[in-house]
Structure 1
Amino acid sequence: MDTLDRLAEPGLDLLGRVDTLLAAGAPEGHRVWPLLRRMQVLPGEAVRNFLDLHPAPLAGAGHAARRLVRGYDDASAALADPVLWSGPAASTYGQARTALLRHLDEGPESLVGRLESTAGYADALADWVEGSRRALARALADVLRSAEAVAVVAATSVPGGGPGHRGPAGPGGTEAAEIAARVLAVLCVAYDGAETLLRQWGPSLAESRWWEPVADRPRYDAPTRIGW
Protein backbone atom coordinates (compact mmCIF):
# COMPACT_ATOMS: atom_id res chain seq x y z
CA MET A 1 0.00 0.00 0.00
CA ASP A 2 1.41 3.37 -1.02
CA THR A 3 0.49 6.94 -0.13
CA LEU A 4 -2.21 7.11 -2.79
CA ASP A 5 -3.91 4.01 -1.39
CA ARG A 6 -3.92 5.56 2.08
CA LEU A 7 -5.45 8.77 0.76
CA ALA A 8 -8.01 6.99 -1.41
CA GLU A 9 -10.89 6.88 1.07
CA PRO A 10 -10.88 10.54 2.17
CA GLY A 11 -9.88 11.64 -1.33
CA LEU A 12 -12.77 9.83 -3.02
CA ASP A 13 -15.20 11.16 -0.43
CA LEU A 14 -14.13 14.73 -1.15
CA LEU A 15 -14.10 14.22 -4.91
CA GLY A 16 -17.53 12.64 -4.78
CA ARG A 17 -18.77 15.89 -3.24
CA VAL A 18 -16.88 17.82 -5.91
CA ASP A 19 -18.60 15.75 -8.61
CA THR A 20 -21.96 16.51 -7.04
CA LEU A 21 -21.32 20.23 -7.19
CA LEU A 22 -19.90 20.06 -10.71
CA ALA A 23 -23.05 18.30 -11.87
CA ALA A 24 -24.69 21.74 -11.60
CA GLY A 25 -21.92 23.26 -13.72
CA ALA A 26 -18.73 25.20 -13.13
CA PRO A 27 -18.17 28.97 -13.19
CA GLU A 28 -17.96 30.35 -16.70
CA GLY A 29 -14.38 30.76 -17.94
CA HIS A 30 -12.89 28.64 -15.16
CA ARG A 31 -9.73 26.70 -16.04
CA VAL A 32 -11.48 23.43 -15.22
CA TRP A 33 -13.52 23.54 -18.45
CA PRO A 34 -10.75 22.61 -20.92
CA LEU A 35 -9.63 19.87 -18.53
CA LEU A 36 -13.14 18.43 -18.34
CA ARG A 37 -13.49 18.54 -22.10
CA ARG A 38 -10.21 16.76 -22.57
CA MET A 39 -10.64 14.09 -19.91
CA GLN A 40 -14.37 13.56 -20.52
CA VAL A 41 -14.78 12.45 -16.92
CA LEU A 42 -15.38 14.03 -13.52
CA PRO A 43 -12.45 13.99 -11.08
CA GLY A 44 -13.97 11.45 -8.69
CA GLU A 45 -14.41 8.83 -11.40
CA ALA A 46 -11.04 9.66 -12.94
CA VAL A 47 -9.22 9.06 -9.66
CA ARG A 48 -11.25 5.92 -8.91
CA ASN A 49 -10.15 4.43 -12.23
CA PHE A 50 -6.52 5.45 -11.71
CA LEU A 51 -6.41 3.71 -8.33
CA ASP A 52 -6.53 0.37 -10.16
CA LEU A 53 -3.15 1.06 -11.78
CA HIS A 54 -0.20 -0.40 -9.85
CA PRO A 55 3.46 -0.69 -10.92
CA ALA A 56 4.12 -4.19 -9.56
CA PRO A 57 2.24 -6.18 -12.26
CA LEU A 58 3.99 -4.21 -15.00
CA ALA A 59 7.40 -4.72 -13.43
CA GLY A 60 6.57 -8.43 -13.12
CA ALA A 61 5.70 -8.57 -16.81
CA GLY A 62 9.09 -7.08 -17.64
CA HIS A 63 10.89 -9.72 -15.57
CA ALA A 64 8.81 -12.49 -17.19
CA ALA A 65 9.70 -11.27 -20.68
CA ARG A 66 13.40 -11.24 -19.84
CA ARG A 67 13.23 -14.80 -18.51
CA LEU A 68 12.03 -15.93 -21.94
CA VAL A 69 15.24 -14.66 -23.52
CA ARG A 70 17.20 -17.57 -22.06
CA GLY A 71 15.15 -20.07 -24.08
CA TYR A 72 15.94 -18.20 -27.28
CA ASP A 73 19.61 -18.10 -26.30
CA ASP A 74 19.62 -21.89 -25.85
CA ALA A 75 17.96 -22.37 -29.24
CA SER A 76 20.47 -20.06 -30.90
CA ALA A 77 23.36 -21.91 -29.29
CA ALA A 78 22.06 -25.23 -30.60
CA LEU A 79 21.70 -23.81 -34.10
CA ALA A 80 25.19 -22.34 -33.98
CA ASP A 81 26.85 -25.71 -33.21
CA PRO A 82 28.96 -26.82 -36.20
CA VAL A 83 27.51 -29.64 -38.27
CA LEU A 84 30.02 -31.97 -39.92
CA TRP A 85 28.52 -32.42 -43.33
CA SER A 86 28.82 -30.94 -46.78
CA GLY A 87 27.09 -30.97 -50.11
CA PRO A 88 23.90 -29.42 -51.54
CA ALA A 89 21.70 -30.43 -48.58
CA ALA A 90 24.23 -29.03 -46.13
CA SER A 91 24.38 -25.79 -48.07
CA THR A 92 20.57 -25.41 -48.09
CA TYR A 93 20.41 -26.23 -44.38
CA GLY A 94 23.14 -23.68 -43.66
CA GLN A 95 21.20 -20.95 -45.42
CA ALA A 96 18.02 -21.79 -43.48
CA ARG A 97 19.97 -21.96 -40.21
CA THR A 98 21.55 -18.55 -40.83
CA ALA A 99 18.13 -17.02 -41.52
CA LEU A 100 16.65 -18.57 -38.36
CA LEU A 101 19.55 -17.39 -36.22
CA ARG A 102 19.07 -13.89 -37.59
CA HIS A 103 15.34 -14.07 -36.80
CA LEU A 104 15.95 -15.36 -33.28
CA ASP A 105 18.69 -13.07 -32.07
CA GLU A 106 20.26 -10.56 -34.39
CA GLY A 107 19.46 -6.92 -33.79
CA PRO A 108 16.47 -5.06 -32.37
CA GLU A 109 14.02 -6.53 -34.91
CA SER A 110 14.77 -10.13 -33.92
CA LEU A 111 12.61 -12.10 -31.50
CA VAL A 112 15.08 -11.50 -28.67
CA GLY A 113 15.25 -7.81 -29.58
CA ARG A 114 11.46 -7.55 -29.43
CA LEU A 115 11.38 -9.37 -26.08
CA GLU A 116 13.94 -6.98 -24.64
CA SER A 117 11.96 -4.01 -25.98
CA THR A 118 8.75 -5.42 -24.46
CA ALA A 119 10.49 -5.79 -21.12
CA GLY A 120 11.85 -2.26 -21.36
CA TYR A 121 8.42 -0.89 -22.19
CA ALA A 122 6.90 -2.72 -19.22
CA ASP A 123 9.59 -1.27 -16.95
CA ALA A 124 8.97 2.23 -18.33
CA LEU A 125 5.23 1.86 -17.73
CA ALA A 126 5.87 0.67 -14.18
CA ASP A 127 8.00 3.76 -13.54
CA TRP A 128 5.28 5.92 -15.10
CA VAL A 129 2.59 4.43 -12.86
CA GLU A 130 4.74 4.83 -9.75
CA GLY A 131 5.59 8.45 -10.53
CA SER A 132 2.02 9.31 -11.50
CA ARG A 133 0.64 7.78 -8.32
CA ARG A 134 3.07 9.89 -6.27
CA ALA A 135 2.03 13.05 -8.12
CA LEU A 136 -1.67 12.28 -7.67
CA ALA A 137 -1.14 11.52 -3.99
CA ARG A 138 0.51 14.92 -3.51
CA ALA A 139 -2.39 16.61 -5.30
CA LEU A 140 -4.95 14.82 -3.14
CA ALA A 141 -3.03 15.68 0.03
CA ASP A 142 -3.00 19.34 -0.98
CA VAL A 143 -6.71 19.56 -1.78
CA LEU A 144 -7.75 17.59 1.31
CA ARG A 145 -6.19 20.18 3.58
CA SER A 146 -7.26 23.19 1.52
CA ALA A 147 -9.77 25.90 2.32
CA GLU A 148 -11.64 24.83 -0.82
CA ALA A 149 -12.20 21.40 0.70
CA VAL A 150 -13.80 22.98 3.76
CA ALA A 151 -16.16 24.98 1.54
CA VAL A 152 -17.08 21.93 -0.54
CA VAL A 153 -17.83 19.78 2.51
CA ALA A 154 -19.91 22.55 4.05
CA ALA A 155 -21.86 23.09 0.83
CA THR A 156 -22.62 19.39 0.41
CA SER A 157 -23.52 18.82 4.05
CA VAL A 158 -26.57 21.08 4.00
CA PRO A 159 -29.73 18.89 4.27
CA GLY A 160 -31.80 18.95 1.10
CA GLY A 161 -29.11 20.80 -0.78
CA GLY A 162 -28.82 18.50 -3.81
CA PRO A 163 -27.31 19.60 -7.09
CA GLY A 164 -30.67 20.75 -8.35
CA HIS A 165 -30.66 23.47 -5.70
CA ARG A 166 -27.31 24.87 -6.72
CA GLY A 167 -25.90 26.70 -9.68
CA PRO A 168 -22.28 26.94 -10.81
CA ALA A 169 -21.92 30.15 -8.82
CA GLY A 170 -23.69 28.74 -5.76
CA PRO A 171 -22.11 27.75 -2.44
CA GLY A 172 -19.05 25.58 -3.01
CA GLY A 173 -19.27 25.71 -6.81
CA THR A 174 -16.15 27.76 -7.39
CA GLU A 175 -14.20 25.77 -4.80
CA ALA A 176 -15.30 22.47 -6.34
CA ALA A 177 -14.14 23.67 -9.76
CA GLU A 178 -10.76 24.63 -8.29
CA ILE A 179 -10.26 21.23 -6.66
CA ALA A 180 -11.32 19.50 -9.86
CA ALA A 181 -8.86 21.58 -11.88
CA ARG A 182 -5.96 20.67 -9.59
CA VAL A 183 -6.69 16.97 -9.72
CA LEU A 184 -7.48 16.76 -13.42
CA ALA A 185 -4.36 18.76 -14.29
CA VAL A 186 -2.20 16.11 -12.61
CA LEU A 187 -4.03 13.32 -14.42
CA CYS A 188 -3.64 15.11 -17.76
CA VAL A 189 0.12 15.26 -17.24
CA ALA A 190 0.11 11.57 -16.32
CA TYR A 191 -1.76 10.53 -19.45
CA ASP A 192 0.47 12.75 -21.58
CA GLY A 193 3.37 10.75 -20.18
CA ALA A 194 1.70 7.46 -21.12
CA GLU A 195 1.10 8.65 -24.69
CA THR A 196 4.73 9.78 -24.93
CA LEU A 197 5.92 6.34 -23.83
CA LEU A 198 3.76 4.65 -26.44
CA ARG A 199 5.15 6.89 -29.18
CA GLN A 200 8.71 6.26 -28.04
CA TRP A 201 8.40 2.50 -27.68
CA GLY A 202 5.83 1.78 -30.38
CA PRO A 203 8.28 1.19 -33.27
CA SER A 204 10.34 -1.28 -31.23
CA LEU A 205 7.22 -3.24 -30.23
CA ALA A 206 6.18 -4.05 -33.80
CA GLU A 207 5.93 -7.64 -34.97
CA SER A 208 9.25 -9.28 -35.73
CA ARG A 209 9.34 -9.90 -39.46
CA TRP A 210 10.56 -13.20 -40.88
CA TRP A 211 12.98 -12.82 -43.77
CA GLU A 212 13.13 -15.79 -46.08
CA PRO A 213 16.66 -17.13 -46.57
CA VAL A 214 18.39 -16.35 -49.83
CA ALA A 215 18.69 -19.86 -51.22
CA ASP A 216 20.83 -21.00 -54.12
CA ARG A 217 19.27 -23.05 -56.89
CA PRO A 218 19.05 -26.67 -55.64
CA ARG A 219 21.71 -29.00 -56.98
CA TYR A 220 21.49 -32.75 -57.29
CA ASP A 221 24.80 -33.51 -59.00
CA ALA A 222 27.02 -33.70 -55.90
CA PRO A 223 27.12 -36.13 -52.97
CA THR A 224 26.32 -35.25 -49.38
CA ARG A 225 29.13 -36.14 -46.96
CA ILE A 226 28.42 -36.54 -43.26
CA GLY A 227 30.82 -36.76 -40.30
CA TRP A 228 34.43 -36.53 -41.31
Structure 2
Amino acid sequence: MPCPLIANADVIRVTRLDACGRPVCGEDNGFVFDCFATLGMNANVDEGEDVEYRAANGRQCGFKRGCPTFNGYDLELSFFSVSPEFIEITTGNPPVFGFDGVTPIGYDDCSIRCNTGFALELWAEVIGEDVCDNENAQGAWIYFLLPWVTNGQLGDLEIGSEAVSLTLNGATRAGGRWGTGPYDVMPLDTAGTAGPMLTPLGSNCHRRTFVTSIAPPEPVCEYTPVLGDMCLAS
Protein backbone atom coordinates (compact mmCIF):
# COMPACT_ATOMS: atom_id res chain seq x y z
CA MET A 1 0.00 0.00 0.00
CA PRO A 2 1.29 3.51 -0.77
CA CYS A 3 2.08 6.00 1.98
CA PRO A 4 -0.01 9.03 1.00
CA LEU A 5 0.77 12.53 2.25
CA ILE A 6 -2.05 14.95 3.05
CA ALA A 7 -1.59 18.19 1.13
CA ASN A 8 -4.58 20.29 2.19
CA ALA A 9 -8.27 20.08 3.01
CA ASP A 10 -10.54 20.35 -0.02
CA VAL A 11 -14.29 19.95 0.51
CA ILE A 12 -16.71 19.40 3.41
CA ARG A 13 -20.21 17.93 3.19
CA VAL A 14 -22.72 17.97 6.03
CA THR A 15 -25.88 15.85 6.12
CA ARG A 16 -28.90 16.25 8.37
CA LEU A 17 -29.53 13.37 10.81
CA ASP A 18 -32.61 12.51 12.85
CA ALA A 19 -32.59 12.03 16.62
CA CYS A 20 -31.30 8.44 16.19
CA GLY A 21 -28.39 9.39 13.92
CA ARG A 22 -30.04 8.31 10.65
CA PRO A 23 -29.54 10.36 7.46
CA VAL A 24 -32.67 12.34 6.61
CA CYS A 25 -33.55 11.81 2.95
CA GLY A 26 -34.88 14.60 0.77
CA GLU A 27 -33.94 17.64 -1.26
CA ASP A 28 -32.97 20.04 1.56
CA ASN A 29 -30.85 17.87 3.84
CA GLY A 30 -27.25 18.23 2.60
CA PHE A 31 -24.77 21.02 2.03
CA VAL A 32 -21.35 21.01 0.32
CA PHE A 33 -18.80 23.83 0.65
CA ASP A 34 -15.10 24.64 0.48
CA CYS A 35 -14.90 28.11 2.09
CA PHE A 36 -13.35 26.97 5.36
CA ALA A 37 -9.93 27.38 6.96
CA THR A 38 -9.49 24.52 9.41
CA LEU A 39 -11.32 21.62 11.01
CA GLY A 40 -10.04 20.69 14.46
CA MET A 41 -10.87 17.19 15.73
CA ASN A 42 -9.69 17.18 19.34
CA ALA A 43 -9.84 13.90 21.25
CA ASN A 44 -11.93 14.02 24.44
CA VAL A 45 -10.46 11.41 26.79
CA ASP A 46 -11.20 10.65 30.44
CA GLU A 47 -7.89 9.41 31.82
CA GLY A 48 -9.50 7.21 34.46
CA GLU A 49 -8.49 6.78 38.11
CA ASP A 50 -5.14 5.24 39.06
CA VAL A 51 -5.19 2.77 41.95
CA GLU A 52 -2.22 2.86 44.33
CA TYR A 53 -1.44 0.58 47.29
CA ARG A 54 0.95 2.23 49.74
CA ALA A 55 2.17 0.78 53.04
CA ALA A 56 2.32 2.71 56.31
CA ASN A 57 6.09 3.08 55.88
CA GLY A 58 5.60 4.84 52.56
CA ARG A 59 6.61 1.92 50.30
CA GLN A 60 4.44 1.37 47.26
CA CYS A 61 3.03 -2.14 47.40
CA GLY A 62 1.17 -2.06 44.11
CA PHE A 63 -0.07 0.21 41.36
CA LYS A 64 -2.70 -0.08 38.64
CA ARG A 65 -2.95 2.52 35.91
CA GLY A 66 -6.47 3.82 35.27
CA CYS A 67 -8.05 2.79 31.97
CA PRO A 68 -8.74 5.82 29.74
CA THR A 69 -12.22 6.25 28.27
CA PHE A 70 -12.54 7.81 24.82
CA ASN A 71 -15.56 10.12 24.79
CA GLY A 72 -15.26 11.24 21.18
CA TYR A 73 -13.97 14.26 19.31
CA ASP A 74 -14.68 17.90 20.10
CA LEU A 75 -14.95 19.69 16.75
CA GLU A 76 -13.97 23.25 15.91
CA LEU A 77 -14.61 24.32 12.33
CA SER A 78 -13.39 27.74 11.19
CA PHE A 79 -15.26 28.85 8.06
CA PHE A 80 -15.95 31.97 6.02
CA SER A 81 -19.17 31.45 4.10
CA VAL A 82 -22.22 32.73 6.02
CA SER A 83 -24.68 30.22 4.57
CA PRO A 84 -28.11 29.99 6.24
CA GLU A 85 -28.48 26.45 4.85
CA PHE A 86 -25.25 25.24 6.46
CA ILE A 87 -26.04 26.89 9.79
CA GLU A 88 -29.59 25.49 9.82
CA ILE A 89 -28.40 21.91 9.26
CA THR A 90 -25.56 22.03 11.79
CA THR A 91 -27.15 24.07 14.61
CA GLY A 92 -30.88 23.68 14.09
CA ASN A 93 -31.31 27.47 14.15
CA PRO A 94 -34.04 28.60 11.75
CA PRO A 95 -33.26 30.42 8.48
CA VAL A 96 -34.74 33.79 7.56
CA PHE A 97 -36.47 33.76 4.15
CA GLY A 98 -36.73 36.44 1.50
CA PHE A 99 -39.90 37.83 -0.07
CA ASP A 100 -40.56 34.60 -1.98
CA GLY A 101 -40.76 32.61 1.26
CA VAL A 102 -38.39 30.01 -0.22
CA THR A 103 -34.89 31.49 -0.54
CA PRO A 104 -32.92 31.68 2.74
CA ILE A 105 -31.27 35.09 3.16
CA GLY A 106 -30.15 34.86 6.78
CA TYR A 107 -30.59 33.02 10.05
CA ASP A 108 -31.64 33.50 13.67
CA ASP A 109 -29.39 32.79 16.66
CA CYS A 110 -31.54 30.96 19.17
CA SER A 111 -31.06 28.43 21.97
CA ILE A 112 -28.70 25.48 21.55
CA ARG A 113 -30.63 22.48 20.25
CA CYS A 114 -29.09 19.27 21.56
CA ASN A 115 -31.66 17.04 19.86
CA THR A 116 -30.35 17.82 16.37
CA GLY A 117 -27.42 16.17 14.62
CA PHE A 118 -25.47 16.02 11.41
CA ALA A 119 -22.82 13.92 9.71
CA LEU A 120 -19.63 15.57 8.48
CA GLU A 121 -17.42 14.34 5.64
CA LEU A 122 -14.11 15.91 4.66
CA TRP A 123 -11.91 15.27 1.64
CA ALA A 124 -8.22 16.24 1.77
CA GLU A 125 -5.96 16.09 -1.28
CA VAL A 126 -3.20 13.47 -1.36
CA ILE A 127 0.23 13.88 -2.91
CA GLY A 128 2.68 11.17 -3.92
CA GLU A 129 4.07 9.60 -7.08
CA ASP A 130 1.85 6.53 -6.91
CA VAL A 131 -1.51 7.97 -5.86
CA CYS A 132 -2.97 7.68 -9.36
CA ASP A 133 -1.36 4.44 -10.54
CA ASN A 134 -4.84 3.11 -11.31
CA GLU A 135 -5.79 4.55 -14.70
CA ASN A 136 -9.45 4.66 -13.62
CA ALA A 137 -8.76 6.87 -10.59
CA GLN A 138 -10.32 10.34 -10.58
CA GLY A 139 -7.53 11.51 -8.28
CA ALA A 140 -6.64 10.67 -4.69
CA TRP A 141 -8.07 11.99 -1.45
CA ILE A 142 -8.02 11.14 2.23
CA TYR A 143 -11.66 10.79 3.24
CA PHE A 144 -12.79 11.51 6.81
CA LEU A 145 -16.25 10.57 8.04
CA LEU A 146 -17.70 11.74 11.36
CA PRO A 147 -21.08 9.98 11.15
CA TRP A 148 -22.80 11.63 14.11
CA VAL A 149 -22.09 15.15 15.39
CA THR A 150 -24.33 16.83 17.98
CA ASN A 151 -24.52 20.02 20.02
CA GLY A 152 -23.66 22.22 17.04
CA GLN A 153 -23.30 25.86 18.03
CA LEU A 154 -21.71 28.99 16.61
CA GLY A 155 -18.80 30.51 18.50
CA ASP A 156 -17.78 34.13 19.05
CA LEU A 157 -18.03 36.55 16.13
CA GLU A 158 -15.96 39.71 15.73
CA ILE A 159 -16.50 42.03 12.77
CA GLY A 160 -14.00 44.76 11.96
CA SER A 161 -11.46 45.73 9.31
CA GLU A 162 -9.98 42.23 9.00
CA ALA A 163 -11.36 39.21 7.16
CA VAL A 164 -14.21 37.70 9.16
CA SER A 165 -14.41 34.01 10.02
CA LEU A 166 -17.02 32.06 11.98
CA THR A 167 -16.55 29.08 14.25
CA LEU A 168 -18.80 26.04 14.58
CA ASN A 169 -18.35 23.82 17.63
CA GLY A 170 -19.76 20.34 18.10
CA ALA A 171 -19.06 16.90 19.53
CA THR A 172 -19.16 13.43 18.00
CA ARG A 173 -21.26 10.55 19.25
CA ALA A 174 -20.80 6.82 18.75
CA GLY A 175 -23.52 4.59 17.41
CA GLY A 176 -26.05 6.20 15.14
CA ARG A 177 -27.52 4.72 11.98
CA TRP A 178 -25.27 6.04 9.21
CA GLY A 179 -24.64 2.48 8.04
CA THR A 180 -22.73 2.46 4.76
CA GLY A 181 -24.07 5.94 3.99
CA PRO A 182 -26.29 7.43 1.28
CA TYR A 183 -23.39 8.55 -0.95
CA ASP A 184 -20.87 7.01 -3.35
CA VAL A 185 -17.50 7.67 -1.70
CA MET A 186 -15.23 4.74 -2.60
CA PRO A 187 -14.40 2.49 -5.58
CA LEU A 188 -16.10 -0.91 -5.58
CA ASP A 189 -13.85 -2.59 -8.16
CA THR A 190 -10.71 -2.13 -10.27
CA ALA A 191 -12.77 -0.27 -12.88
CA GLY A 192 -13.29 2.50 -10.34
CA THR A 193 -17.05 2.05 -10.04
CA ALA A 194 -18.22 4.49 -7.36
CA GLY A 195 -20.35 3.19 -4.51
CA PRO A 196 -21.11 3.56 -0.80
CA MET A 197 -18.80 2.23 1.89
CA LEU A 198 -18.54 -1.54 1.91
CA THR A 199 -18.94 -1.87 5.68
CA PRO A 200 -20.57 0.31 8.35
CA LEU A 201 -18.73 1.72 11.34
CA GLY A 202 -18.82 -0.22 14.59
CA SER A 203 -21.26 0.84 17.30
CA ASN A 204 -18.46 2.36 19.43
CA CYS A 205 -16.69 4.23 16.60
CA HIS A 206 -16.60 8.00 16.13
CA ARG A 207 -14.59 8.45 12.90
CA ARG A 208 -13.50 6.58 9.78
CA THR A 209 -10.55 7.54 7.56
CA PHE A 210 -9.45 5.99 4.27
CA VAL A 211 -7.90 6.79 0.88
CA THR A 212 -10.34 7.03 -2.01
CA SER A 213 -10.04 7.65 -5.74
CA ILE A 214 -13.64 8.89 -6.03
CA ALA A 215 -13.75 12.65 -6.40
CA PRO A 216 -15.54 14.74 -3.76
CA PRO A 217 -18.80 16.51 -4.64
CA GLU A 218 -18.75 20.00 -6.10
CA PRO A 219 -19.37 22.81 -3.59
CA VAL A 220 -22.60 24.77 -4.07
CA CYS A 221 -24.15 27.56 -2.01
CA GLU A 222 -27.54 25.92 -1.52
CA TYR A 223 -29.10 22.77 -0.13
CA THR A 224 -28.12 19.52 -1.84
CA PRO A 225 -30.30 16.40 -1.94
CA VAL A 226 -29.83 13.17 0.02
CA LEU A 227 -31.14 10.55 -2.39
CA GLY A 228 -28.90 7.44 -2.20
CA ASP A 229 -29.82 3.75 -2.21
CA MET A 230 -30.31 3.95 1.56
CA CYS A 231 -33.22 6.31 0.92
CA LEU A 232 -34.74 4.04 -1.71
CA ALA A 233 -34.68 1.14 0.75
CA SER A 234 -36.34 3.11 3.56
TM-score (norm 2): 0.19
Greater RCO (CA < 8 Å, at least 6 residues apart): 1
Q: Which has the higher helix share?
A: 1
The structure that has the greater radius of gyration is: 1
Q: Which has the higher strand share?
A: 2
